[in-house]
Amino acid sequence: MVDVTAKDATHRVARAEAFVKMAPATLKLLRANALPKGNPLETARIAGIQAAKKTSDLIPLCHPLPLTHVDVSIALARGGVRLESTASTKAETGVEMEALAAAAIAALTLYDMCKAVEKGITIEKVRLLEKTGGKSGRWVRK
């Protein structure tokens, strides 16, 4: 792991996203909450939050962080579902990996919940949108 002992703890926030592309028929079932495994949207949201909390267990050499806030928002969109995660902490290192893990695992969970009706679902654009805090300050995807 990188030694962050000498770094100051600062307030840090990161936002990430993922897009789950699916057929219109699957999206229609999702809108109606008519899939066989239960409520995919809420299950995906909770899975994303749990993933952020377990990021250091999932990614080797990733620092465990005291997260102060994690959320995953989900929006049905044309052609699929957009998932956006936010993670916050006051620590010596950033929360980009936690935000990315939340978005990715939420997307994987949505795939798992919908695969019974469509195998061709695609997970796209798992990416960092913004990060603030620390020595490097603010970064925003253009």
pLDDT (tens digit, 9 = 90+) per residue, 71-125?
Answer: 999 999 999 999 999 999 999 998 999 999 999 999 999 999 999 999 999 999 9
Q: What is the dihedral of CA 62, 131, 71, 123, to 10 degrees?
A: -80
Enter the CATH code of domain 10-134: 3.30.70.640
Q: Where are the domains of the chain?
A: 10-134
pTM (2 decimals)? 0.95
Nearest to 1 by CA among 92, 105, 118: 92
Phi, psi of 10 (to 5 degrees): -130, 165
CB 48 within 8 A of CB 83: yes
- For residue 70, the surrounding DSSP H or E stretch is strand 67-77
Interaxial angle between packed helices 96-114 and 40-53, expressed in degrees from 0 to 180 and rounded to the nearest 10: 150
CB 128 within 8 A of CB 99: yes
Residues annotated as catalytic (active site), given as ranges = 112
